Amino acid sequence: MDISAVNALAYEEFEKIFGNVVEKCPIVAAAVWSQCPFKSLTALEDAIFEFIDTLPESGKEGILRCHPDLAGRDLQMGTLTQESREEQSRAGLDALESAERTRMAQLNEEYKARFGFPFVICARMNDKANILRQLSERCQSERAAERARAVEEVKKICHLRLQGLVRTDAPNKL
């Protein structure tokens, strides 16, 4: 779909199509729909990022809490969103060895206990070894710095999901 098709979507369709560009947060899509028409995919992305950036810290943490644990119960039970399942599979998180799975589970729990939200990283830009390393390192971060880092990872995920939905070849002529 191109940006003209995006701009022609009714509210319900827009929310259905873009409701998971930020994991399990259709409210983000709902909030930016009112800014249609968008000149380009970049303008749509900017609107989403601005919405996220203007949230209070509790709202940003709410977005982070919508993310599943990496290689966690949802992956094992097959209850991840389609996007998360594909992203985690690409990173090799569906093929962890027993020791890796145990280590990932321990680190996920340590991280959530420390920060109050799940570890978020753009799985499509990493492999399982780097994800494990980052998870271990980021468990040592300060809360505010880690929240900011996790929000930036949400934006990377969103960027890639948007690119999968909207062609970037022609800006809309407003």
Among candidate residues 40, 76, 54, the one with its CA nearest the CA of residue 162: 40
What tokens were used for 30?
């709902």
Q: Which residue has the tokens 């209070």?
A: 56
Please list the active-site residues. 67
List per-residue pLDDT tens for the chain, 174 residues long.
999 999 999 999 999 999 999 999 999 999 999 999 999 999 999 999 999 999 999 999 999 999 999 999 999 899 999 999 999 999 999 999 999 999 999 999 999 999 999 999 999 999 999 999 999 999 999 999 999 999 999 999 999 999 999 998 655 555
In Å, what is the CA distance from 57 to each residue of 11, 64, 148? Answer: 27, 11, 9
In the chain, the domains with their CATH numbers are 3-62 (no CATH), 67-159 (1.10.3330.10)
CB neighbours of residue 146 within 10 Å = 20
